Amino acid sequence: MAAKPAETRRLYLQIADKLRALMEQPDFARNGRLPPERELAERLGVSRPTVREALVALELEGRVEIRMGSGVYVCATHGEATSAVPNEDELGDSLVDNMAARSLIEGAIVASVAPFAKPKALKALRAIYDDMAREVAAGQIPIGPDRAFHAAIAQMSGNEVLIRLIASLFDERHSPLSTKLRDHFENDGTWRAALGEHKEILDALEARDPVQAQAAMQRHIKASLERVMAQRKQG
């Protein structure tokens, strides 16, 4: 299969290509350790989140190892490819792009449904939130209730296209790239914060306030991205 033109490939994959080339330079990764994300971002002319996504792509490829609290290191066996390594199409979309799309679309949806939310739908949404709260309190990751919460708001629109779209965008979190990012940078504290943000969305819907509902949804999605992308590794 012919390679995709560079300009049509995801930006983080283009940056991963550049990092591979830099890793071949003898003085780039001193003692096997790559420069900090900030330095890489400045050198490559992109944002730190894009660099982080590129590094995770290289980790999935087996070329580097991300050690929390220490840095990113070249793997001694990086030249050995395995069948388990996902190809470019399997890696998934940029989490930054995905969350930007969700913020725009889910923000518009929740604003449009807030004034007309039916008591039955709100009661069901409250029950989903309660399920999420119980799982968080038990130290579990509430993936099921989280998805159900966002899906339920989309269903309030009655628009099947939007319902499918939100489900597809949400399920992108299970792509290899997004899963690895979350494995590294999410923790119990991030889910406690997310629970409070869902409460703000629910409260705004129950008040039938479209402005606050949209603001709460967009704050939540922005904060969710920042919890994965803004946390710093030492070094």
Summarize pLDDT for 163-180 with one digit per residue, the tens: 999 999 999 988 999 999
- pLDDT tens per residue across span 47-71: 999 999 999 999 999 999 998 878 9
Q: Regarding the domain delimited by 92-229, which CATH topology (the fold level of the hierarchy) does it fall under?
A: Four Helix Bundle (Hemerythrin (Met), subunit A) (1.20.120)
> Contact 142/191 with Cβ under 8 angstroms?
yes
- Alpha-carbon gap, residue 110 to 117, rounded angstroms: 10
Which residue(s) pair with 31 in the sheet?
Answer: none
- pLDDT tens per residue across span 216-232: 999 999 999 998 887 55
Domain 6-89 has CATH 3.10.620.30: no
- pLDDT tens per residue across span 116-169: 999 999 999 999 999 999 999 999 999 999 999 999 999 999 999 999 999 999
- Alpha-carbon gap, residue 44 to 140, rounded angstroms: 38
6-89 and 92-229, same CATH topology: no
- Alpha-carbon gap, residue 130 to 143, rounded angstroms: 13
The ranges assigned to domains in the chain are 6-89, 92-229
- Alpha-carbon gap, residue 60 to 48, rounded angstroms: 18
pLDDT score for 158:
97
